[in-house]
Structure 1
């Protein structure tokens, strides 16, 4: 038998255990989630990313009646970052979600496509992205790199 261990760190933290900057990133994601265009699912997702140049970018999910044509918040913000700040690596990505009209936040994680997008960005910059995902209980998943969520990731067409 062969065992393979990833080098990813996955923690559950109280929000006050995060740095002030990380707490602010989550708050930014919460605020932008209110701007989600989610008339079909009523599921509002917000994402905020801090880049290596200090810029903070934010986005929300944008649905389309042709469901595959919608864009997830984390995919959208990372794509915007890549197009507009191609030399600045994403360092930390905060993700939050809840149903429209509800007060409590939902337990979520990036979908498969978003996981692959995060993997591609990590490969592009050769740098792990720290992910902060707000949980329903108010605590936060702190994840060091996409390997924790995508251990058998697809990295290269040539390998």
Structure 2
């Protein structure tokens, strides 16, 4: 699911924060080290910082993504989601078929989403034609165990030649 959204949203880079329930004990097996999650009021990854309403137990998955024991409230995300800066210039280019994947729409940059079901819509960046403002998360946002908050850092200029550019063109 995340890969589908990321492939369709070349205007932004993304990172995820997963909310978990506290289950089990703080040890893993008899012959292993004790697992000691930190308590933090904020966590950062890939230039994105999530700030909680109060210190929460957090840790990292093996791939480096953060998890937090929930429920938890995210009060802010940096960079701040919202409209494009006044000085931003969006150059819309068309491919050899005459299509443009982007549009000059200033409503949202650096958006966040809670992905509930797979779809071709996204709430990260309004320059992408699949943008749906109803999917953009507003802060503060309470999160329940089992939810993942995916946040983005929008590229400051377009077009952005992402990994598929080398493969396709």
Of the two, which has the highest radius of gyration?
2
The structure with the largest strand share of the pair is 2
TM-score normalized with structure 1 length: 0.24
TM-score normalized with structure 2 length: 0.23
